[in-house]
Structure 1
Amino acid sequence: MFHKLPDELQLISETAGKLSRDHLEPLAATLDSGEGRESFLKNLNLLAANGFMGLNISSDYGGTEAGATGFALAIAKLAEGCAATALTVSVSNMVAEVIQAVGSQAQRDAYLPKLTDGTFPAGGFCLTEADAGSDAASMRCRAAKDGDFYVLNGSKLYISSAEYAGLFVVWAVTDPAARKGKGISCFLVEANTPGLIIGKAEKKMGQTGSATNEVHFQDCRIPASALMGAENEGFRIAVKELAGGRIGIAALAYGIGVKAMETAKVYVSERKQFGQPLSSQQGIQWMLADRETELEAARLLILQAAALKDDGLPFAKQASMAKLYASETAQRATYTALQLHGGAGYIREYPLERYARDARITTIYEGTSEIQRLVIAREILKDF
Structure 2
Amino acid sequence: NNCKAPSTLLSHIMAALLSRFRGSRCLNLGFLPRAASVRSPLAALCFLPRGSNSSRPGSDPARRPLGSFSAAGLVSAAPGWVQPYLRLMRLDKPIGTWLLYLPCTWSIGLAAEPGCLPDWYMLSLFGTGAVLMRGAGCTINDMWDRDYDKKVTRTANRPIAAGEVSTFQSFGFLGGQLSLALCVLMCLNYYSIALGAASLSLVVTYPLMKRITYWTQLVLGLTFNWGALLGWSAVKGSCDWSVCLPLYFSGVMWTLIYDTIYAHQDKRDDVTIGVKSTALRFNEATKQWLTGFSLSMLTGLYVAGINCDQTFPYYTAVSAVGAHLAYQIYTLDIHNPEDCWKKFTSNRTLGLLLFTGIVFGNLWKRSNPNSTKEFVDGS
Q: TM-score, structure 2 length as denominator?
A: 0.24
More helix by share: 2
Q: TM-score, structure 1 length as denominator?
A: 0.24
Larger Rg: 2
